[in-house]
Structure 1
Amino acid sequence: MAQLLYSPHTTAEEALLPEVDLTPADPWLLGDTIGSERAAGLDAAISGLRAALGARRVVDVNSTPAGGGVAEMLYRILRYTRGAGVDARWFTIEADPAFFALTKRLHHLLHGQDAAGPSLDAHTAAHYAAVGEANARALLRSVRPGDLVTLHDPQTAGLAPALHRAGVRVVWRSHIGTDAHDEFTDRAWAFLRPFLETVDAFVFSRTQYVPTWLTERHVAVIQPSIDPLSAKNRPLDDDAAAAIVRRMGLRAGRRPRERALYRRGDGSVGVVHREPVSLHSLAPPPAEAPLILQISRWDPLKDMAGVMSSFATDTTSLDGAHLALVGPDVTGVTDDPEGSRVFAGCVELWHRLPPRSRARIHLACLPMADAEENAVMVSALQRQATVIAQKSLAEGFGLTVTEAMWKSRPVVASAVGGIRDQIQHGVHGLLLEDPHDRAAFAAEAGGLLRDDGLAASLGAGARSRALEQFLDDRQLCQQSALYQVLAAA
């Protein structure tokens, strides 16, 4: 494949966008989980989409094939879409470090947070536009007029003008946002708006995220979802999960010649061979010790350092418990230039802790070379955790919360963004009204460690809520309805 050059002079013949391989999956496989009535509704929705599309394609474009909730969601949704007979394809853009530094700043601004990064001036906008145009020209070698293309998040907005000129139906989907619009969100929208004026429809995860300038435009609210049959969410028995977590060095008691086995998606038996690419731990947590877990990207808005400080400074509520902060290999998420810095900051903080605190806190970066193995490692950790935390300072939706709920785990999470839509406090989990309140986090997590009955009740409520509201059939139905409207326009 020819290298993509970030210049307005790049010709379409010089480049193709990378396409992600998709193995079709029959959406009827969801039937045993969602029941016959929901399965029939899903079949009707996708049949209607097939009829409305005819020979046209459904195409999604984002910035990375791995390393975040958007990439995981696209893989699942598009597999089911293709398995239902729709020509669904997935491409990722290519860009330079300056571009991704800019889009990371836009990411923070859309969350209502200021951040260091490139200034949003005319020079930066010109570079952003040039990258978008080059990627759009490359994409137009693979899409045709009338195809439905969904662009995801700030990294892709610059493709919209060129795609519109070529007769493509364009949707822009934002997975991030904040309920309280302010000078930071205004700054981000002022930068992005010129690139989005020709978009045919917009998708947001919450109504509150929609900016006022879209009042008269076609806007849909579609919340993310999880696949109960994916490697991260399908059943995994306790013994297998425990063996995998021991293999990762996050539980003591590893046995000689013990094998960490799991069932792969194709039905074969897989073995977790890899260990964390980076592990900071004085010794594995004892098998009997309660384990608090937060799994997130190494992003400052996930507040991994804040979780660590909350845990380390508590002297009563969390005594005897261990904390694991786990994220992806920081070299494997190409569109997030902050990951290495955030992880390094957490490691530095860990080294400064008193020995007693450091002995009970563990930092790990999981390998991403095998996506299914990575997913099973995450699943095993979630299933072995006593309490799952998501103390984000801001959150678009929070699929790590959804995953924990599906596994019947008690969750302590910040009452921000889409987490509010998932959890009713005291019914499906516990919410922190102030995500900066470290004492409150320690008290809520410690309360769950001491009250097995409450933890079990919240876990059961969480599982029921995830089943009812946050599985992939719901998102597939909503998406099919939107695409049918656009195909008919």
Structure 2
Amino acid sequence: MREVDFGTAPLTPYRDVLGAERLDRLREAAEHVAVALHGRRVWNVNSTSAGGGVAELLHALLPLARAVGIDARWLVIDGDPEFFAIAKRLCTRLYGAPGDPEPLGSEQLRHYRKVTELNGTALAEWVRPGDVVVVHEAQPAGLVDVARRLGATAVWRRHIGRDVPNEHTRDGWAFLRRFVEHADATVFLTEQHRPDWAPRPHIIPPSIDPCAPKNMELTEREVLDVLRCTGVLGGGDGEPVTVRPPVGERIEVRRQVTAVREGPPPPATVPMVVQVSRWDELKDMEGVLHAFLAADVPGSYLTLAGADVEGVADDPDAARFFDDCCRRWAALPEEDRRRVQLLCLPMEDLRENAVVVNAVQRHATVVVQKSLAEGFGLTATEAMWKGRPLVASGVGGLRDQVVDGESGLLLGDPHDLGAAAGLIRRLLTDPELARRLGEGARRRVDEHYLPDRHLLDWANLIGSAVAMEVV
């Protein structure tokens, strides 16, 4: 186990985005929480500091929490490949999919407990009685009871889920429930994902950081320079591009993407459909590929982009799903292959990676998030903040974010490729609708999914949980 080092966010850029009134309201709430904590700390524990929604969320929220007066910390657990394979299987089952064919039986439980015990011994070196420990997701869930034994208030946060339980979710909960049912509080992203037995449940949707490299404003010139430099678009000379974010040091973009495509990169003038996701069966990149081709809009192009499959430590299946997508692409007729590219985005520098994702989303004509199941879908939130018209599956938090016809178009059945193709075609061929939906998407994120609202929700939870401990 190791502690992740992060700084304190400057508040001026957030005031520029949120306005003084919203920022003052956040600072006042944080002051109340700091008084209630009385010098105690808030620890966040997850499985990786790079890649995936949880890590991105913590990189965004924790520096801002510190800036408004909360002593927030971050720990990442250790584990061997077998542990992370078990954890990946568990997460996939909680999503309602079978995942790999291996079981979640007594042997897997013993290994999960063994790794948890080692991390629990390490946790004791940091956590003091009275601290608050927020345990994120299934990988470190065994540390909930450890934190409580150490005298801390333990909160378990679930970032994934399935709207309608099935045999796979029951299998996942049979393994996991024993580790989280004694938590002092539990947090879910959407009401549909809360099991009936969850102790002291709270619904707290996540947020995006408007000042982070992934969501900061970029000029049209910067977008094109970044995409040409990295090889996403054609016409570049390979020269590095430097951008200056509102928070942190300037960022040099210089690494090339790993691209699977037929022929050269597409030109900037081509209307582009984009999905940015993990390489994961539940993100259904293959389904997006087939829906795009079925939409059959002449002159359009598809970009499927995900993290470099070697760059996310807690996702051992990413390479397999990327390879599956590559095989599906390779089996297409040449004329179709020339309209599609699969991109692995470099992960060596996370801020550089974030700028590339930002540019890809801003350049998109249409953004798709055709998940088969979803916790919340922050890649959709990011695209909405950038004013992009969105086609999203009506599952999980995507259904909460998208008001159909106002801030995007919802796909009722994510398995319906014909319906998905129709929505993609509709946005590609109706620029006025696309513009109106993009504007509505930006407004919805501003009102509901920025970090001041998110931290206010957490301030309320922590304040009430600490008060209960005192009583």
Normalization by structure 1: what TM-score? 0.93
Please say if residues 223 and 363 of structure 2, whose CA atoms lie closer than 8 Å, have aligned partners that are also in contact. yes
Query: Which residue pairs with 1:82 in the alignment?
Result: 66
The CA deviation at 1:28 is 5.7
Q: Which of the numbers 372, 376, 381 marks the counterpart of 1:397?
A: 376
Query: Which residue pairs with 2:203 in the alignment?
Result: 221
Q: Give the total of aligned pairs.
A: 468
Query: Which residue pairs with 1:439 in the alignment?
Result: 418
Please say if residues 276 and 304 of structure 2, whose CA atoms lie closer than 8 Å, have aligned partners that are also in contact. yes
Please say if residues 181 and 197 of structure 2, whose CA atoms lie closer than 8 Å, have aligned partners that are also in contact. no
Q: Distance in 1 between matches of 2:181 and 2:356?
A: 42
Please say if residues 228 and 238 of structure 2, whose CA atoms lie closer than 8 Å, have aligned partners that are also in contact. no
Q: Which of the numbers 212, 222, 225 marks the counterpart of 1:243?
A: 225
The CA deviation at 1:332 is 0.9
Q: Mapping of 1:74-473 within 5 angstroms? A: 74-214=58-198, 217-254=199-236, 256=237, 259-265=240-246, 269-314=250-295, 316=296, 318-473=297-452
Q: Which moved more, 1:179-188 or 1:353-362?
A: 179-188
**What amino acid is the match of 1:402?**
T
Q: Any idea what SS the aligned residue of 1:404 has?
A: helix
Please say if residues 127 and 150 of structure 2, whose CA atoms lie closer than 8 Å, have aligned partners that are also in contact. no
Q: Distance in 1 between matches of 2:380 and 2:238?
A: 34
User: Structure 1, residues 400-429: CA drift from partner, whole Å, max 9, x if none?
Assistant: 000000000001111111000000111000
Q: Distance in 2 between matches of 1:229 and 1:328?
A: 21
The CA deviation at 1:31 is 2.0
The CA deviation at 1:280 is 3.5
Please say if residues 261 and 337 of structure 2, whose CA atoms lie closer than 8 Å, have aligned partners that are also in contact. no
The CA deviation at 1:248 is 2.2
Q: Any idea what SS the aligned residue of 1:413 has?
A: strand
Q: Structure 2 vs 1, CA of residues 269 and 95 (structure 1 numbering), >3 Å: closer, same or farther?
A: closer
**What amino acid is the match of 1:358?**
R
**What amino acid is the match of 2:443?**
S
Please say if residues 361 and 383 of structure 2, whose CA atoms lie closer than 8 Å, have aligned partners that are also in contact. yes
Please say if residues 280 and 321 of structure 2, whose CA atoms lie closer than 8 Å, have aligned partners that are also in contact. yes
Please say if residues 26 and 84 of structure 1, whose CA atoms lie closer than 8 Å, have aligned partners that are also in contact. no
The CA deviation at 1:267 is 6.2
Please say if residues 82 and 88 of structure 1, whose CA atoms lie closer than 8 Å, have aligned partners that are also in contact. yes
Please say if residues 212 and 245 of structure 2, whose CA atoms lie closer than 8 Å, have aligned partners that are also in contact. no
The CA deviation at 1:359 is 0.5
**What amino acid is the match of 2:19?**
G
Q: Distance in 1 between matches of 2:238 and 2:27?
A: 46
The CA deviation at 1:465 is 0.4
Please say if residues 101 and 117 of structure 1, whose CA atoms lie closer than 8 Å, have aligned partners that are also in contact. no
Gaps of 5+ in 2: none
Gaps of 5+ in 1: 1-16
The CA deviation at 1:182 is 2.3
Normalization by structure 2: what TM-score? 0.96
Please say if residues 281 and 363 of structure 1, whose CA atoms lie closer than 8 Å, have aligned partners that are also in contact. no
Please say if residues 244 and 272 of structure 1, whose CA atoms lie closer than 8 Å, have aligned partners that are also in contact. yes
**C-alpha root-mean-square deviation of aligned residues, in Å?**
1.5
Please say if residues 307 and 345 of structure 2, whose CA atoms lie closer than 8 Å, have aligned partners that are also in contact. yes
The CA deviation at 1:188 is 1.4
**What amino acid is the match of 1:150?**
V
User: Structure 1, residues 98-146: CA drift from partner, whole Å, max 9, x if none?
Assistant: 1111111111221122222431212211111111121111011011111
Query: Which residue pairs with 2:48 in the alignment?
Result: 64
Q: Any idea what SS the aligned residue of 2:387 has?
A: coil
Q: Distance in 2 between matches of 1:246 and 1:278?
A: 13
Q: Structure 2 vs 1, CA of residues 90 and 117 (structure 1 numbering), >3 Å: closer, same or farther?
A: farther
Q: 4+ residue stretches of structure 1 with deviation over 6 A?
A: none
Q: Which moved more, 1:265-274 or 1:48-57?
A: 265-274
What is the identity percentage for the equivalent residue pairs of Structure 1 and Structure 2?
Answer: 46
Q: Distance in 2 between matches of 1:146 and 1:134?
A: 22
Please say if residues 264 and 372 of structure 1, whose CA atoms lie closer than 8 Å, have aligned partners that are also in contact. no
Q: Structure 2 vs 1, CA of residues 257 and 59 (structure 1 numbering), >3 Å: closer, same or farther?
A: closer
Query: Which residue pairs with 1:3 in the alignment?
Result: none
Q: Which moved more, 1:45-54 or 1:263-272?
A: 263-272
